[in-house]
Amino acid sequence: MQTFFVEIKCALGRTYEVASALAEAEIASEIYSIAGNYDILAKFYVDKEVDIGHFVGEKVQIIPGIVDTRTIITFKAF
């Protein structure tokens, strides 16, 4: 499994709508509201053979209300 996080910037007033859509899609293992330049931090697990770039572009960025994302790829958990 590959683990990665995506910081998500939402259109104004749409954070809860985006978080609900992520939860309903059942693609993220954890979804948090955060402060700062982004509004949501979501944690994902995908199989080794899944291309993370395609996954984010085809499963995450298509959710209405998302205006920007930043993907953080992880290497090892301690």
pLDDT at residue 60 in the model: 98
Maximum alpha-carbon separation in the chain: 36
Residue at 37 is within a domain: yes
The whole-angstrom separation of Cα 60 and Cα 30 is 14
Number of separate domains in the chain: 1
> Is 29 within a domain?
yes
Residue 24 belongs to domain with CATH number: 3.30.70.920
Residue 44 lies in a domain: yes
Q: Is 0.85 topped by the overall pTM?
A: yes
- For residue 20, give its domain range: 2-73
Residue 53, token pair as written in the block? 């770039």
**Residues in Cβ contact with 71 at an 8 Å cutoff, skipping those fewer than 6 apart:** 4, 5, 6, 7, 52, 53, 56
Flag whether pLDDT at 77 surpasses 90: no
